[in-house]
Chains A and B, each alone.
Chain A
Amino acid sequence: MSCVLMLSVSCILWGLGMNEVGWLIMVCAVALLVVMMDCPFNFYILKSEWLGVDEMSVLMVLLCLLVSMMSLVSSTKEVKNGFVVLMSGWSVVEMVMFICLGSVLFFSVCSWMDFFFFFEFSLVPTFFLILKWGYQPERLQAAVFMLLYTVGSSLPLLMSLVYFWSHIKSDNMLLSKMVGGWKDFNMNWPWLIMSLSFLVKLPVYGAHAWLPKAHVEAPLSGSMLLAGVLLKFGGYGLIRLMWFSEVTNSTIVLFVLVFSLWGGVLSSGVCSCQSDLKSLIAYSSIGHMALSLSVLLSFYSVGKMACVCVLYSHGICSPILFSLAANSYEFCQSRSIMLSKGISRIFPVISGVWFFFCILNMGFPPSLNFFSEVYSVGGLLSLQWLLGLMGGLMCLMTGAYCLILYSLVNHGVVSSMVFKPGLNLSYRYLVSSVFGGVLLLGGTLCLDMFFV
């Protein structure tokens, strides 16, 4: 209660014109959320008829709020654009807030139908965000692909959730787990069809074609939200599905595990040969999500913990990489790696931040990414030695492309496109990166909070 009071007082003060209150607001908000994390391990508490809370959902809500805050701070170009403000309609701040609202509710509801509703709800503001603030004419096809893939694969999920409702006679997640879930059924192929929607959202390797397109065509805030929050819907949905419907390990699950792990290795390899900065970071997202999916599907408890840890740490690190790429877009006017080079000589601090987040992406101890990677590979190795070796191969290729990314942007002679350094460079990018970096490095100190 005291946190809420502090928060409201500082908001009022900010409205009245005090400028330095922003940090106070942020600290209060984070403190409020941390205080809410008093749920013990492995419990799920129904707070009301609509909302249910456990550690993982609090973590994901925290992630949503942080990523939307960072994306609002970093998208200076869209907010300050006078042309859009003059036209009537939504501004980018409202779009981002809609996506944030939809995500926060998605991670908090406790009934299957609301879960499905908010799963599809956040697609609409994202679609609008890409269409209105993207840069190239290919963005129409990219946004339509995203919609088509996600909605098309979630139709079986709707059907099976309706059938689940009719079988259990209740919509509540916790109640369905108490009653027994899908235990009476032989969940081989039906499991695959049900989770197809989450697998496409995650995205698993075969169905990943929408992600690089959407990332490349989206504006910065769209990319940050997509990478930071929307990909986590798939992982969260799979965990909830597995937990509440009591499915067991079967051949089809192992098939998807191996498929996604090998797909992760392949997409990490593909990353090393990309010529577009945003596309490179998009393929790295696919690799990380593939690792988290495969360790989740091993059905170990450390697998679930490592999956949530990967989701969280990737959700902080990837948006910051996207904001750094947008930073280099601002002074080079191009995303191609041939043109945005050599910023180590003129922007040493930004070069340092690039380096820091590149090595965080590859899993640099003692950050949260390192622990998530290590326990993912550990879970896979405990299942089967070959899977562990594949996980190790993926770590190797992740290291390779992260360092390739760093050296492509920072090394060598300054590119001739950078002719006026310091023109549009605002320190907002640095602020959000420092914030994310502190979270990722400091996450080690409270590892129990992230190992859900």
Chain B
Amino acid sequence: MSPCCNAALSKFFFFFLFFYLAVVAGVFNGGALVLEWELSEKLFVETSFCLVLDWISCLFSMSVLYISGCVCVFSGFYLSHDKFLEKFFVLLKLFVVSMVVLVLFPSYLGLMVGWDGLGVISFLLVIYYLSSCSLSSGMITVLSNRVGDVCFILAISLMSSSLSFGMWGESFVSGFVLGIFLMMGSMTKSAQVPFSAWLPEAMSAPTPVSSLVHSSTLVTAGVYVLIRFSAYLSEFEMYMLSISSMVTMLLAGSSACMESDLKKVVALSTLSQVGMMMFAISLGANVIAFFHLLVHAFFKALMFMCMGGVIYYSGSCQDSRFLGGVWNKLPFTSCLFLFSNFSLMGFPFFSGFYSKELIVGAALSLNVGLMAVVLFFMCLAFTISYSFRTLNLVMQDMSVFSLKFYSMENGYYLSSLLLMMNGAISTSLIMQSILKEFSTVSFVNPSVFYSVLLLLVMFFFNLVLLFNCLSKKSFMSLTKNFLKSMWFLSIISGNFISSKLLMMISSYIVYVEMGWIRAFIGSKVINSISMVFRNKIWEMNMNFFGVILFVFLSVFLILKVF
């Protein structure tokens, strides 16, 4: 399987390159490298591509390259019998290149290269299995991303009237509109409300794609841009961002409790974690959000890989109603899945605990209102509940299971899991001990925190019991439909908008385009003008007096002109 080894080795080579730059060349000790390439001198604003290598970009590119190397090894297992495997690896390489370009070039013009590239290549990756449902998922993915592109293009246009496109500017010309465009663009990429419908739909992609794209890189691109350009956000945008991220967390948490497709549950958990990162940014805690971004990338990629193994061995069955009993059949996989879920929940001293604890500390000690705190705790409770639900569905031995043929003897699978194993457990500890920026102190009384959390979990438990005891069928089915389709967002964003718009355009074409413009102006008016002219000219030509008049008039005109 040599293309797989080639692809993975190239990623690991670049990982070690960045590692060298970071540790040996002193970037982590506070140095930075800036290279600027000036494109045009004719405009007042400096159009340049500016490469910045500081500790943020080095660390992010290192983690992106490491995860993509492991994903390459994993796809050597998952897609081993696929005909177009070389095409897949080329697409993955292009995707990683776009992501690294996005990370390394924090000026708006250079960033757009990576941003647009991410959107478009993720479209190709989502429609990799050439079927009609993957096409519809791909279209909604790329069109949501395109809305973000348009917001960024408008932001660039606003920035053209200031001095530079970089991340260190101040928006002294345009007020808070620039921040709105920036925020809306990041919100579409990171799938916040109201643009959340594309992320669960994009699970039509192969699992390696989901593991790289939809957990670590694509959705975190919006968060990264907001972290870099946070100087442009003003009070109003911070409010909007906090509201939107909290609604996203609630949406994702409540929908994940009802979803039966396992990959979609993991996608919704990604959505809620990205909402948490956005929430941290809206509080102003940028470094904490970045820490959570990195830690989440590792354990979520591991979760997707374990899920991919389960799906592969059960014959591409993603529906949790047919799965069960994985604990006995794939013990290593289910063990790692358990650990990554504990990390997701923020179980003490796993990897996710450190970053989540910092976010909770920031949420409790910075100035947000009471409602925000309550909603935040509700999201934490939701995370715990859907994680336990997933673990139960996958691992408990029901009598119906589709996992018939199971053997963990594939070398690629085992080596990719082994490489990513650290991610669920010790990544954050390693990062905190290397970088001094990540170890902040938060003043949270643990008894307060855990008691409030327990209170809310008990409250929800009572609510669920109440729902089960209700005998009104219509109310239950309405709630189920509401939660299953992501608060009706997936139906509205996809089907409703596109069908209405296309029907409007078709009727416009029939009436205006083909009717007025082509048939009326095109045929009738032009024909009548030309016919009338032609007839009059024929009449005049047959008339001797007309010829003399024409000659006389033309001579007169020429004499007048000169």
Contacts and interface: CB of A to CB of B under 8 A. Distances in A.
Interface of A: 41, 145, 148-149, 152, 162-163, 165-166, 206, 208-210, 266, 269-270, 272-273, 302, 305, 342, 344-345, 348, 355, 359, 363-366, 370, 373-375, 377-378, 380-382, 388-389, 392-393, 395-396, 399-400, 403-404, 407, 411-413, 444-445, 447-448, 451
A270 B41 CA distance: 38
A209 B160 CA distance: 36
Nearest to A212: B518
Interface in B123-141: 123-124, 127, 130-132, 135, 138-139
B147 A396 contact: yes
B157 A447 contact: no
A328 B253 CA distance: 47
Contacts of A389: 154
Interface of B: 39-43, 47, 49, 84, 87, 109, 112-113, 116-117, 120, 123-124, 127, 130-132, 135, 138-139, 142-143, 146-147, 149-151, 153-154, 156-158, 160-161, 502, 505-506, 508-509, 513, 517-518, 521-522, 526, 529-530, 560-562
A407 B135 contact: yes
A412 B124 CA distance: 13
B524 to A, nearest CB: 12
Nearest to B557: A162
A336 B154 CA distance: 36
Given A377-B154, A393-B150, A411-B130, 12 more contacts: A145-B526, A149-B526, A166-B561, A273-B509, A359-B120, A370-B112, A370-B116, A378-B160, A382-B161, A399-B143, A404-B139, A412-B135
A348 B87 CA distance: 9
Interface of B is mostly: helix
B509 to A, nearest CB: 6
Of listed A209, A377, A447, residue having the most chain B CB within 10 A: A209
Nearest to A165: B561
A447 B506 contact: no
A166 B143 contact: no
B562 A269 contact: no
Contacts of A447: 39-40, 47
Interface of A is mostly: helix
B135 A411 contact: yes
Contacts of A149: 526
A448 B130 CA distance: 42
B70 to A, nearest CB: 27
B45 to A, nearest CB: 10
Contacts of A165: 561
A400 B146 contact: yes
B335 to A, nearest CB: 40
A149 B522 CA distance: 9
A342 B130 contact: yes
A395 B47 contact: no
Contacts of B117: 364-365
Given A270-B508, A272-B502, A451 B517 contact: no
B506 to A, nearest CB: 5
A166 B561 CA distance: 6
Contact of B154 (A162, A359, A381, A413): A381
